[in-house]
Every structure is written in C-alpha cells, then in structure tokens.
Copies of this chain bind each other. A is one copy, B any other.
C-alpha cells in the first residue's frame, strides 16, 4: 500500500533537516519502505482538508490506504511496530525502546522547544539576554542525566532502535546552541546517528526539496 507523508514546501530551516518530516523519512528509510511526499505551504496547513488529517495544522502526516496519522512519535512507532529494524523482538527490550521514544519527546525535547522559543520568538524581547542562561540550564539538566546513562555505549539500550532515532533527532536541534558539544558522548552519539545510511538518505531527500541544486 502506498505511503504518503507531508512535508514543508519550504522548510523554515532551509534544509538543515530539523523539520519533523526528517524523523519520519528516517524511520521509513530504516524500514526500507518506499514513500511519496506531498509538499504543503503554510497556507495549505491551515486549510480544512489538511486540518482533517492533522488537527494542529502541522507536518508531517502519514497516509496509508484508509489510515491517516499525525504526530511524529506515533508515526515512527506505527512504522516500527510493523517492520523490522526499529524495535527489538524481545518483549522487554521492545518496551524499553519505546520508553526511550517517550523520553526523547516528553522529557528531553520540551526544554529544547522552550530554548527555541527563547532564541527565535523572544529574541528581541527586553529580557532575552538575561533569561537565556536560565533556559539553557533547563536544557542541560536532562542532558547531564542522559549523558551519564549513555556512558560509552553506542546506543541507549543495545542495538539501534526507534528510541535512538527520536533521541538523536531531538538532540540534533541543539547543535547551533553549542550545548550539544558540551557533552562529548552525546555529540558522538548524534554523529553516529547521522552517519547511518538511512539517516543520510532521509537528510538528502529533505535537502533536495529545500535547497535544490542550481541549474
């Protein structure tokens, strides 16, 4: 059955791979699944036909026959549950990998989203410079703990899983702030994720949309 996802017609990051369709593309590439992409503009995302699929008016969405899903975490889990390569087969290892998916999205990402708000939407506010160190410390707190847990391991719990896919994707967003490089083992972990052939194909696919070659 054909899989169709949505992505930005023009990503606000200009093709740095930070838009969330990259996470879904990566999962599809790890699972070896072909997919089609429907590009949407910011105006398209607020139209009733898109809101019917994604009530929050965002990308990505996932359509497969009569099934339509939104929320990156749910889409990645849906793919991971149905195809090998993203979740271990052992029952307990599988539950732990899913735990890391939620940890990425509900523990590590919220302070990173707050930092993005601070540096983008509140950049010109009078409190911006004074407040920023406090927001950055809020990001560092779970990273200290994540770094301690990861240690010198390659992935969070044995073999690469959808938990690593989401954690690497969340941590990636921190590179411009300099905070990722404060944690040597986390920076190396992210680099290992980015070096995977499936990630490279996903990154190239989103880049081709956002920064097509000249000529």
Instruction: Indicate the size class of the contact surface on chain A.
Output: 35 or more
Mostly, the A contact residues are helix
A142 interface contact, C-beta 8 A: yes
Report how far A126 CA is from B130 CA in the complex, Å: 10
Contact assessment for A92 and B67 in the assembled complex, using a CB-CB cutoff below 8 Å:
yes
Contact assessment for A77 and B55 in the assembled complex, using a CB-CB cutoff below 8 Å:
no
Q: Which of A63-83 contact B (CB under 8 A)?
A: 66-67, 69-75, 77-78
A103 interface contact, C-beta 8 A: yes
Contact assessment for B145 and A57 in the assembled complex, using a CB-CB cutoff below 8 Å:
yes
Contact assessment for A117 and B130 in the assembled complex, using a CB-CB cutoff below 8 Å:
no
Known A-B contacts: A71-B102, A74-B99, A78-B98. Give 11 more (CB < 8 A).
A55-B103, A67-B91, A67-B95, A69-B99, A70-B99, A70-B103, A73-B105, A73-B106, A106-B106, A106-B109, A122-B131
Give residues in A with beta carbon < 8 Å to B.
Answer: 51, 55-58, 66-67, 69-75, 77-78, 91-92, 95-96, 98-99, 101-103, 105-107, 109-110, 113-114, 117, 121-122, 125-127, 130-131, 134, 138, 142, 145-146, 148-149
